Chains A and B, each alone.
Chain A
Amino acid sequence: MEAMTASEASSAQRSAPSLTSRDERLVRGWKRSRRRNRIAAIGLPLAVAVGFISYWQYATTHRSNASVLIPTFTDFVKATWKLLGLGDFWHAVWISESALLTAFGMAVAIGIPFGIYIGRRRTLDALTSGYLDIAVVTPTAVFMPLIIVFLGPTYWARVTVIFIFAFAYIVLPCRVASSTVSGDLVDMAHSYGATKTAVWRDVIVPASVPGIFAGLRQGIAHAFTGMFLIELTFLAVGLGYLIVGYEEAFDPAYVFGVSVIIVVQAAVCMSLLQYVENRLSAQWRSGGRK
């Protein structure tokens, strides 16, 4: 009996180091694969950007048929840098984005509660779903001339256009999220004596958070589109006016500069929303624990 125990012990001693080294190999492999993935996640987009910029610079400086409407990359960088120091540029940003903020704020303030509410009310949902679907499938730009006719070339005309562009995209995900809240969860809440308000507060609204953020992200993207469209077509003010002005003056580097700054700004907005969503979702998931 003792001999067997000793043999088992020695066998365990023999097998232990080989197990450890296998584990170490596994850990090393796992770390290597993670490092590779990280490098790929940052390196590949960076390589694509560097390749694109290099070709841009080469094509606009060395090729004989280079277009006069496309600036070189270096000219574009210089123009963008100069723009950032111009008071007129920041004034245009304020004109455009004050309308964007007002309209988006209104779309959020009305769209989120409206979307969540209609998702839980069958009659109201049936009443509004057709119009919301039309708002999504119809190019919203067709309403722009009508709005200008009704409201004139005013600040509120721009606000209305941007609002219309964003509203349906905020409402629809909220509506879907609240309509798919599990009936069992609602029943559970009722069985513990939750009032109607408590069911909304403690079950339906928290369960709709992913839909709310999906709506916010889609809404801001469409709000930017609306802002640009109205300023480039019917109401040349703010950034739209700046772009049209530089275009007419054959200053493509500045046209590119303004456009890219807006694109970057929209991307930053989306990233910020994503960041807030991640933070809030983590807190939501952790039940509000610090």
Chain B
Amino acid sequence: MVERDVMVQVDQVSKSFVKYGKRGKVDVVPVLREMSLDIHRAEFVSIVGPTGCGKTSVLRAIAGLLPIDSGRIVVDGRPVSGPGRERAMVFQDPTLLPWASALDNAAFGLKQRGLGKRERRARAQEALELVGLGHRSGALPQELSGGMRQRVGIARALAVDPSVLLMDEPFGALDEITRRTLQDQLVRIWEQDKKTVIFITHSVEEALYLSDRIFVMSHAGHIIETITDLMPRPRTREQESSEEFVMLRAKIWEALS
């Protein structure tokens, strides 16, 4: 039975990939092993873990892009069997259509949902304004910087007004200054409409700055620690040198090691 305020429930989910190993031998590589986690409505959670531990796999499974071998995933009370309207994903790479303007890229999800041209353009423009790119709506992806492209990707996800925002290391490839700016922007947007956000990151500091809870994953493909009681909001950058922040960071690193 799913609790009333649980938005996303990952229940005993396992996933393995089959691939050719050395000398043509077939290997089965488990990436998720009976993984379970609950995420509450309007909660911002991060999943941190080493490379290859299955962070992206669990996110893609929640997005409905990766079929699971066993267990179940429930989003907003409905079992996941494929992509759904209540979820939108922001990819590590911005994955923008190179031939389409920022506005048309931001409107992509709305087009797939059958909205008329005028309405989808208005909503996409609104989403671009929200991420601070309203003035560049006519620009093509190649005319935008890496940070701007990623913001178009976020605008595309926000435009469809999902209940759950799935973000797969969206700031991973950006420089530190842009990364911090976008983190602040994301916090501002999240505080405005309180969507449920599942955020994948390599950066412990990023997770601590953004999240309500942090799930730490191990190479074994499951959650080894859940960090709750994070610093109260609103947070500031100055808190990153506070004793509390340092202790939380040490706790996550300890779990990771």
In the complex, chain A residues 241-290 whose Cβ is within 8 Å of any chain B Cβ: 284-289
CB < 8 Å neighbour of A184 from B95, B98, B138: B95
Q: Given A184-B91, A206-B97, A288-B104, A193–B109 Cβ distance below 8 Å? A: yes
Which residue of A is nearest B101, CB measured? A287
| Residue A232 at the chain B interface, CB threshold 8 Å | no
Tell me the interface secondary structure of chain B in the complex.
Answer: loop
Contacts of A191 in B (CB 8 A): 63-65, 83, 87-89
| Residue B93 at the chain A interface, CB threshold 8 Å | yes
User: In the bound complex, do residue A202 and residue B83 qualify as a contact, i.e. CB atoms below 8 Å apart?
Assistant: no
CB < 8 Å neighbour of B97 from A185, A190, A193, A195: A185
| Residue A194 at the chain B interface, CB threshold 8 Å | yes
| Residue B112 at the chain A interface, CB threshold 8 Å | yes
Number of B residues with CB within 8 Å of any CB on chain A? 29
User: In the bound complex, do residue B88 and residue A192 qualify as a contact, i.e. CB atoms below 8 Å apart?
Assistant: yes
Q: Given A285-B98, A286-B140, A289-B101, A184–B93 Cβ distance below 8 Å? A: yes
Which residue of A is nearest B160, CB measured? A192
Contacts of B101 in A (CB 8 A): 286-287, 289
Contacts of B108 in A (CB 8 A): 188-189, 192, 202
User: In the bound complex, do residue A192 and residue B109 qualify as a contact, i.e. CB atoms below 8 Å apart?
Assistant: yes
Shortest CB–CB separation between residue B81 and chain A, in angstroms?
Answer: 13
| Residue A10 at the chain B interface, CB threshold 8 Å | no
User: In the bound complex, do residue B100 and residue A287 qualify as a contact, i.e. CB atoms below 8 Å apart?
Assistant: yes
Contacts of A132 in B (CB 8 A): none
| Residue A8 at the chain B interface, CB threshold 8 Å | no
Rounded to whole angstroms, the CA-CA distance of A284 and B93 in the bound complex is 21
Shortest CB–CB separation between residue B202 and chain A, in angstroms?
Answer: 19
Most chain B C-beta atoms within 10 Å of own C-beta, residue among A184, A198, A287: A287
**How many A-B residue contacts, CB cutoff 8 Å?**
70
Number of A residues with CB within 8 Å of any CB on chain B? 24
Q: Given A191-B63, A192-B83, A287–B88 Cβ distance below 8 Å? A: no
Shortest CB–CB separation between residue A59 and chain B, in angstroms?
Answer: 51
In the complex, chain B residues 50-108 whose Cβ is within 8 Å of any chain A Cβ: 63-65, 83-85, 87-89, 91, 93, 95, 97-101, 103-105, 108
Contacts of A190 in B (CB 8 A): 65, 83
Contacts of B88 in A (CB 8 A): 191-192
Contacts of B104 in A (CB 8 A): 287-288
In the complex, chain A residues 182-215 whose Cβ is within 8 Å of any chain B Cβ: 182, 184-185, 187-195, 198, 202-203, 206-207, 209
CB < 8 Å neighbour of A202 from B64, B65, B103, B111: B111
Rounded to whole angstroms, the CA-CA distance of A110 and B221 in the bound complex is 48
Contacts of B89 in A (CB 8 A): 188, 191
Rounded to whole angstroms, the CA-CA distance of A209 and B140 in the bound complex is 17
| Residue B113 at the chain A interface, CB threshold 8 Å | yes
Contacts of B160 in A (CB 8 A): 192
Rounded to whole angstroms, the CA-CA distance of A188 and B91 in the bound complex is 8
Which residue of A is nearest B87, CB measured? A191
Contacts of A198 in B (CB 8 A): 112
User: In the bound complex, do residue A206 and residue B99 qualify as a contact, i.e. CB atoms below 8 Å apart?
Assistant: yes
Most chain B C-beta atoms within 10 Å of own C-beta, residue among A188, A194, A288: A188
Shortest CB–CB separation between residue B118 and chain A, in angstroms?
Answer: 15
CB < 8 Å neighbour of A285 from B93, B95, B140: B140
User: In the bound complex, do residue B84 and residue A284 qualify as a contact, i.e. CB atoms below 8 Å apart?
Assistant: no
Contacts of B65 in A (CB 8 A): 187, 190-191
Shortest CB–CB separation between residue B86 and chain A, in angstroms?
Answer: 10
Q: Given A190-B83, A193-B83, A193-B109, A289–B95 Cβ distance below 8 Å? A: no
Which residue of A is nearest B104, CB measured? A287
Which residue of A is nearest B159, CB measured? A192
Most chain B C-beta atoms within 10 Å of own C-beta, residue among A190, A193, A202: A193
User: In the bound complex, do residue A287 and residue B99 qualify as a contact, i.e. CB atoms below 8 Å apart?
Assistant: yes
Which residue of A is nearest B82, CB measured? A190
User: In the bound complex, do residue A192 and residue B97 qualify as a contact, i.e. CB atoms below 8 Å apart?
Assistant: no
Rounded to whole angstroms, the CA-CA distance of A190 and B63 in the bound complex is 10
Contacts of B105 in A (CB 8 A): 287
Contacts of A192 in B (CB 8 A): 83, 88, 108-109, 112-113, 156, 160
Shortest CB–CB separation between residue B254 and chain A, in angstroms?
Answer: 34
Rounded to whole angstroms, the CA-CA distance of A192 and B83 in the bound complex is 7
Rounded to whole angstroms, the CA-CA distance of A184 and B140 in the bound complex is 18
Q: Given A285-B140, A289-B101, A193–B112 Cβ distance below 8 Å? A: yes
User: In the bound complex, do residue B112 and residue A194 qualify as a contact, i.e. CB atoms below 8 Å apart?
Assistant: yes
7 further A-B contacts with Cβ under 8 Å, apart from A207-B99, A209-B99, are: A184-B91, A184-B95, A190-B83, A191-B89, A192-B108, A287-B100, A289-B138
Closest 10 pairs (CB-CB, A-B): A287-B100, A192-B109, A287-B101, A188-B95, A284-B99, A287-B104, A191-B89, A194-B112, A184-B95, A192-B112
